Structure 1
Amino acid sequence: MTIEPQFFDARDGVRLAWREMGEGLPLILLHGLFSNAEVNWIKFGTAARIAEAGYRVIMPDLRIHGSSEAPHEPDHYPPDILVQDLQDLVAHLGLADFDLGGFSLGARTSVRAVVAGMRPRRLILGGMGLAGLAGWAKRGQFFQRVIADYDSAKRGDDIWLSVQFMKTMKIDRVAARLLLDSFTDTAPALLDALTMPVLVVCGDQDQDNGSAGELVAALADARLATIPGTHMSSVTRPDLGEAIAAFLTA
């Protein structure tokens, strides 16, 4: 299924894209690093399954990803710029009552948005553990190495698959490096802001962002859904959409 993007201008004038599917209660879903809305949510049927459950699924392409612009000027990448972009999308669409979720970077951005004051009714954190929030600096070093060794990585290197994914997705490396520098850690104490019901959904072979169980234990009202797959493969399975739809309609 092909869904044409719609566009709006963020507060700094950067043109950003989003796609929609379905009607009903709004759910904003944020994709993972170096992915986009089409690959993360549409291609494998996740958005369609959630839309069938009665939701208006709103899926932005994060800055530098997909159909959104990827500026090279450092001024376009202040700390938590993706949170600002999410706030601008919510304002552009006039949303007052909505659910929010994401996978990997999208989950991290969703948490940062709630810490900054956004109040969705429910929150969905996919492919995320406690270390992926509190220990971003270490994870960020890995991705900076992916960019630095983009042309020299060899099959078998720990960064090989990430480099291949970047190439497939045609990610702008200059913009990607700037975006990575805009990310900050989320201290466990800040998770007290997550007072709404939270679904943590993670592949049974996914430890890329630490322990999903530890994240659930750190939250006031969270439940864990374990689905088959690794960090890369779990988003391709129907189990992801089923788990999200079950949480939203419970």
Structure 2
Amino acid sequence: MTAPRTEFHEGWGGAKLAVHRLGAGRPVLLLHGLFSSAGVNWIKFGTAARIADAGFEAIMPDLRAHGQSDAPHDPAAYPEDVLVKDALALVAGLGLADYDLGGFSLGARTSVRSVLAGLAPRRLVLGGMGLEGLAGWARRSAFFIDAIDRFDEIMRGDRAYFAKSFMKTQKVDRVATRLLLGSVDDTPPEAIAHVTMPTLVVCGAEDRDNGSAPRLAEALPQARYAEVPGTHMTSVSQRQFGDAIAEFLAA
């Protein structure tokens, strides 16, 4: 498998977004999780390669304030649902008319809200997301904002220590990501009745970070649940994670 190729495309407001592409075939737009990148969520552990091997093109942007994408410090660059605005801009700019959409954690939340905002993928993949997580962003956001604000004070044993360590490893721009956290909106449970395309909910067996994934699958009109090994942080590193997505898309 060849290495992913990287391009830069405009998001909302002209922000420069790095887009990594692997494979050839039906496009699958994949959105990564908070503090992460396309490289970590999709490329490093082989998920993108498995999707490409199944006959698809994995299109993987680094979200605003992440990876190689722009991370502006101007609050005006983070209006309500800016990640959804970026997703819509990328779909239009890339000329995607017949495609699939997937996301992990924050990327899954963004995928759902993008569908509610008008995107119409053939199939949808929601990784690391539960029913309660879609509507419970305020609590999650507060935890991460606290980790950013106390970054230099957090010591081993603090419940935010792992978040601090991951931010440090990923060289996260804490000013930009703090602004981004305030732009993300909740999705009430009743709204997901409008997400009607076939959907895969895939989640680690030990992952409860965003609530119950089986309950999310039950609440969606056309969804099935796939359980893979791991926690919220380790499930994306499992071969079964990529296999479940590739098999669902190819069905």
With the length of structure 1 as denominator, give the TM-score of the two structures.
0.98
**Counterparts of 2:103 and 2:202 in 1: how far apart (Å)?**
10
Q: 1:10 Cα shift?
A: 2.1
Deviations 1:201-245 (A, max 9, x none): 000000000000111111101100000000000011111110001
Query: Structure 1 residue 61 and structure 2 residue 62: aligned?
Result: yes
1:23-172 equivalences in 2 (<5 Å)? 23-172=24-173
Whether contact under 8 Å (1:50, 1:57) holds in the other structure is yes
Deviations 1:172-192 (A, max 9, x none): 111011000001110011101
Give the counterpart letter for 1:70 in structure 2: A
**Counterparts of 2:92 and 2:35 in 1: how far apart (Å)?**
25
1:175-186 equivalences in 2 (<5 Å)? 175-186=176-187
Whether contact under 8 Å (1:134, 1:188) holds in the other structure is yes
Deviations 1:26-79 (A, max 9, x none): 100100000000111011100000100000110000000000010000110001
Q: What does residue 193 of structure 2 align with?
A: 192
Whether contact under 8 Å (1:199, 1:224) holds in the other structure is yes
Tell me, which stretches of 5 or more residues in structure 1 are unaligned? Answer: none
Q: 1:5 Cα shift?
A: 2.0
Q: What does residue 239 of structure 1 align with?
A: 240
Q: What does residue 201 of structure 1 align with?
A: 202
Q: 1:157 Cα shift?
A: 1.0
Q: Secondary structure at the match of 2:13?
A: coil
Q: Secondary structure at the match of 2:153?
A: coil
**Counterparts of 1:238 and 1:172 in 2: how far apart (Å)?**
30
**Counterparts of 2:59 and 2:250 in 1: how far apart (Å)?**
17
Give the counterpart letter for 1:10 in structure 2: G
Give the counterpart letter for 1:94 in structure 2: G
**Counterparts of 2:244 and 2:4 in 1: how far apart (Å)?**
23
**Counterparts of 1:203 and 1:170 in 2: how far apart (Å)?**
25
Whether contact under 8 Å (2:122, 2:198) holds in the other structure is yes
Tell me, which stretches of 5 or more residues in structure 2 are unaligned? Answer: none
Give the counterpart letter for 2:50 in structure 1: R
Deviations 1:152-186 (A, max 9, x none): 11111111011000011111111011000001110
Deviations 1:66-110 (A, max 9, x none): 000100001100011001111111111101010000100000000
How many pairs were matched up? 250
Q: Secondary structure at the match of 2:12?
A: coil
Whether contact under 8 Å (1:100, 1:123) holds in the other structure is yes
Give the counterpart letter for 2:58 in structure 1: V
Give the percent of matched residue pairs that are identical in Structure 1 and Structure 2.
60
Could you say what the CA RMSD is over the residues aligned between the two structures, in angstroms? Answer: 0.9
Q: 1:2 Cα shift?
A: 4.6
Whether contact under 8 Å (2:11, 2:87) holds in the other structure is no
With the length of structure 2 as denominator, give the TM-score of the two structures.
0.98
Whether contact under 8 Å (1:16, 1:63) holds in the other structure is yes
Q: 1:11 Cα shift?
A: 3.4
Whether contact under 8 Å (1:5, 1:67) holds in the other structure is no
Q: 1:3 Cα shift?
A: 3.0
Q: 1:4 Cα shift?
A: 4.2
**Counterparts of 1:171 and 1:204 in 2: how far apart (Å)?**
28
208-217 vs 6-15, which moves further: 6-15
